[in-house]
Amino acid sequence: MAKPKVLVTRRWPAAVEAQLSEKFDAVLNTNDVPLGETEIQDALKTYDAVLPTVTDKVSARALDVTKPQTKILANYGVGFSHIDMGRVADHGMTVTNTPDVLSECTADIAMTLLLMVARRASEGERELRAGNWSGWRPTHLVGTKVSGKTIGIVGFGRIGQEMARRAHHGFGMNVVVYNRSRVPEGVLAQYGATQVDTLDELMPLCDFVSLHCPGGTANRHLINTRRLNLMKPDAFLINTARGEVIDELALTRALWFETIGGAALDVFDGEPNINPELLDCDNLVMLPHLGSATREAREAMGFRVLDNLSDFFEGRTPRDRVN
């Protein structure tokens, strides 16, 4: 019996690619360039499974294919806002993702960002590398203490809870949660957390606001001018969720006029293109989407895709099916 034909849209860890090639008739993207819409259309006509990442815009236009060969989109990553789920449903395709395995590493990078922006670490490194450091002095790059402060967590899924664990148990922070559904009291108690009913209620309570909610149309520009104005003037915004969750123009204004203390971003709206106005904000820390960028997490994500593919082609419901 012929092996299912599978397209891997970007380079994956070598150990995962090896297993994919052994188990399936796999085609690898050896030049590691994201696919355009036309290339995605061609792939949907040719392969039994397509394995996209966040860099592949599986849009309605890309999915405008008559009787596609592809029966499953096994996404490499948790978020799937880059996939038009309505058009996928029209084709009867299955979509899976890779939850759980990157939660700890993404929370690690969120805490890294929080510490960097609070203690002005990026500003200090830029000064050192430019040869502009004149030595220690009492008023130099004075930042903000983190321990004991209040953190607001927007979206209390796996990653949000891992962030709460680091903040509360590692730094003694008070945790306030906004989530679209009620979080069980027993879960909140693990982190000494309090849940509020609205995002507007959360924003003014916190010294740090960390975003861990889904992206997509529903949450586009969830953080806008009005909500930024609700923050304390010395509070910090952290985003490791999706770039579109923040109105970046509104954020640049808040940073320029110092109506908030600062921000730290691992994700951007329209990445890898960066709004040039963000580059002029000294009180902003930026990382190139490193949330899951550890060997352990990236391999685990790939093997989770393999598990989902195996389930699907062996007639079982994939455990990470999202539609």
* Residues labelled as active-site residues: 242, 271, 289
- Rounded to the nearest 5 percent, the helix, strand and coil shares of the chain are 35, 15, 45
CB atoms within 10 A of CB 159: 27
CB atoms within 10 A of CB 134: 7
C-alpha 55/C-alpha 323 separation (Å) is 20
Q: Whose CA is closest to 243, among 117, 123, 79?
A: 79
293: Cα separation from own chain's centroid: 11
> Is residue 305 a contact partner of residue 96, using CB atoms and an 8 Å limit?
yes
C-alpha 171/C-alpha 106 separation (Å) is 17
Helix residue ranges, H only, 24-176:
37-46, 85-91, 103-118, 121-129, 158-165, 171
C-alpha 187/C-alpha 295 separation (Å) is 29
> Is residue 290 a contact partner of residue 105, using CB atoms and an 8 Å limit?
no
Amino acid sitting at position 178: Y
Q: Whose CA is closest to 240, among 208, 202, 192?
A: 208
